[in-house]
Each structure stands twice: as structure tokens, then as C-alpha cells.
Amino acid sequence: MIDESVIQRTIGAALGTGGEFAEVFVEDRRSTGAVLDDRRVEDLSSGRDRGAGIRVVSGDTTGFAHTADLTEAGLRQAAEAAAAAAQGGGGGTRVVDLTRQTAPRPNEIRTLPEDVAKATKVELLNRADEAARAEGSDISQVMVRYGDNRRRILVANSDGLLADDDQVRTLFAVSCVANGDTGMQTGRESIGRTVGFELFDIYDVEDLARRAARRAITKLQAVPAPSGSMPVVIGKGGGGVLFHEACGHGLEADLVAKKASVFAGRKGELVASPLVTLVDDGTMSEEWGAYSIDDEGRPAQRNVLIENGVLTDYMWDHLRARKEGRPSSGNGRRQSYQHLPMVRMTNTYIGNGADDPADIIAATDRGVFVAQLGGGQVNTATGDFVFGMTEAYLIEDGKITSPIRDGNLIGNGPEVLTRIDMLGNDFEMGHPGTCGKDGQGVPVGDGTPTLRVTSLTVGGTAA
């Protein structure tokens, strides 16, 4: 992307006023998006964004500057601005020998989406729209979205690191609205992988659309959600977002250092049911949060955060790990070259247990089965959360019965971890997601097997 000698001189300029550490992050991003709504293509766009972010650290101060000018002069100007912001002193120039490092790629791309005609992508939208509407006259609206993104990055720093990655992600989503006597209900399905256009050799967009439509139609029969404290069974894949938000963020080292995490200072303690092993894994082949290197050039890793209920480690970026005298866990991520990296999750999940999912349902006399969770709010300092249930059902006499509507799950993340008393053997990753933190969004995945929480508060409207 940029000649190594130019990168070398840029780092030298960044260190010229006495900085202790300097880093150059270069990004070249291409993307395409298309949206079909009400049988019309409402948006068909493509874009490209290129630039570099330069970070200089001096003591406890970090200077950062970014530029879209990738000439040597443009990079040097940004480097000097970052160095000035770090308020270094001493003058002089340092020469850094860069050593190219490689990391295994989570998968190989067979068909770059940028090589596929836009007409072919729009055809997928139309096929999905027709399949969804064919499920019944109750379907009144269908929106279909396609997106692809190719992100090439190069990272170099004053420790001598030089690494690059070529990340390709492809996404397809269908949202349906059904109208009936009880009002309006929605259903949604999505697929997203770190693969190219071969995604559509693996997944059938018409099947995806039919499932979204059936979900909306089924919810027309929904009854009001119950209220109160009761057992909650979370289906495979469907509840990973709860553990991502309510527990995962609290295991990020920056929040731990700020004492903004309920897990601060608890390493080595039993913080969850002994059934629970919680993992963050950036190496998972094809999953939405996978990559070869993080945005600080560190190889992606599989990090066990909680093992058999015991807190074993946190997630780390390079600078925080450096301060603690330990290696990074490969969790330094940023939204773009215009942003500083911070500790972020990748693919976060609870591993398999030994229980048959059918036995978990049968062992629950009365409660709620949650197939899909929606958005929510979390206080990372306390772990308290509220999540909407986008697809859920009553459990009565050990059987899944009526769909329910208008319900929330209310609880505390660390308490939920301790209340898991049954864990299925049917692990599955959930839908692709975008995790927001401090104004930055990055692609992430999450997953769970079927599991039961002995008691959670369900906020519903049923008497």
C-alpha cells in the first residue's frame, strides 16, 4: 500500500521530538450497498476511503493525527502533528528497522465482491423479496439489504512491527412486516461472513427470506408477555448478544483499568456457574468478527475469559498490555484510520455444555423461551441490563407454546452467569452485529448453545 522506506521515515519523524512509541496505521476500504424496499431499489451505492492514522506515545500522553494524503509529505505532516500533540521533547531522529510479520488468515476469499456486477447483487434482492411475499398475503412489506466491504490495512510501529491484512465481509438481510387482526409484527433474518460473494453458494437467500416472513406471520398469533421473575431458556445463537453486552464489555481491560467494570480485580475468582466457559475468538473461520491481525498488527487469538466459571483473563490491546508487561490478546480495534484503537471484542461466545436442548425445555414447568433478543441497554459498571425480546414463546408444562410480544428481559449480567443451571450441546453463532463503544462501531459475532437461567425478570403486559 505504501513503500516500506516511506513508512520507516514516517515513524522516524513521529519519534523525532522524543516520543517513546509511534505507530502508523494505513487503511484502504471499498464498499458496496444495495437496499430494496417496497419492491423498489431505494439505494445502490459504492465508495472508497483511504488514509492513515498516526499515533505517538510519550509517557501517559498519546498524540494522534490522521490524514487522507498518503504521500510522504502528507504522512510526515501527520506524524509531526501527532508528535506535537504528545508533547514530547529532546529532538533528534530515530531509525527503526521494520520486520514484516505474518499471521494465518481465518479463511481464503474465492470471489471478491468488487468483481461481481451490481446487477447480479440486485437480482439477489428481488429473489428474496419474491420468496418472502410468497409466504402469504399477511406479508405487507419486505425490505432486503445487501452489503460488502473490503478493508486492506497495514500496521507498522517503532517496535519494528510491520504487518498487513486483507479483510472481506459480505452481508445479506431480510426484514418482513406482517399485518393481522392483532396488529403489525416483524420478522428478520440475516447472514454475514468474512467471505466473498461465495457466501451465496453457501446460503440460499430465498430460504432466508421465507424464514423471516414466517417469523413475522407466526408473531401475529402472539399473546402478551408475562410479567415477573421466572426461568428463562435462551435458544442457541439467539442470546449471545446478552452476554456480549452484559458481560463481555466488562472484561475489556480499558474498562477494568477505569474501575468501570463489575469484574475489576476479580481475576481467579468464581464469577459464573461452573458450567460456563466464555471465549472471545478472533480466529473463528468465516465468522463476522474474524481477522488475521487486529488494528495494532497483533495476530488474532482465541482468548478464554472465563473457564468453568472462573475469571481467567481480560481482553487487551497493545498499549495497555505493554504497561502491564504482558502480551496483547489481539483485541486492539478501531472503526477506521480516523480513530484510535481500543480494546474490543471479536467473536464472543459461551461454549457447549452436555444437556440435550429438549431436556432443558422439558425440565422447565413454566417460563419463557427466547429465540432472538433485540437491542438493549447495559451499565458496564454494575452489569444491569434491559433487552427487548424480538422472538419469544411461553413455556408451559415443559413445552414451548404460544408466541409472546411486547416483552423485555431485565437483570444483571454477572448474576445471570451464576444462574445458568443447564447448558445445551447445540452451540451456534448468532447474527452478524456491529458493536458500538465510545462512538466507534466494529463488526462482531456472538453465540451460545441453548441454556437456562433459573430466574430473570420478564417485563411484559399480561396481568
Least confident piece of the model among 22-36, 148-162, 179-193, 348-362: 179-193
pLDDT at 90 over 50: no
Contacting residues for 137 by C-beta, under 8 A, at least 6 apart = none
What pLDDT was estimated at residue 96?
A: 63
pTM of the predicted protein model? 0.94
Lowest-confidence region among 28-42, 88-102, 294-308, 318-332: 88-102
What does the alpha-carbon distance between residue 193 and residue 383 come to, in Å, rounded to a whole number? Answer: 29
Question: Cα 349 to the chain's mean position, in Å?
Answer: 11
- Indicate the length of the chain as a whole number: 463
The three-class DSSP label of residue 174 is strand
pLDDT at 376: 84
Residue 247 CA: distances (Å) to CA of 42, 114, 211, 342, 413:
38, 37, 30, 17, 6
Higher pLDDT, 92 or 72: 72
Residue 248 per-residue DSSP state: I
> What confidence category does residue 93 fall into, taking pLDDT thresholds of 50, 70 and 90?
very low
Q: How far apart are CA 123 and CA 120, in angstroms?
A: 5
Q: What is the mean pLDDT of the chain?
A: 94
Q: In this predicted structure, what is the pLDDT of residue 463?
A: 55
Residue 163: which of 104, 100, 106 has the closest Cα?
100
The helix or strand, by DSSP H or E, that contains position 201, with its residue range, turns out to be helix 199-202
Confidence at 98, pLDDT banded by 50, 70, 90? confident
The position carrying cell 439467539 is 238
Selected residue with higher pLDDT from 1 and 93: 1
Residue with cell string 446487477: 119
Q: Where are the domains of the chain?
A: 228-459
Q: How confident is the model at residue 1 (pLDDT cuts 50, 70, 90)?
A: confident
Res 95 pLDDT > 90: no
pLDDT bracket for residue 246 (50, 70, 90): confident
**Residues 443-459: tens digit of each pLDDT:** 999 999 999 999 999 99
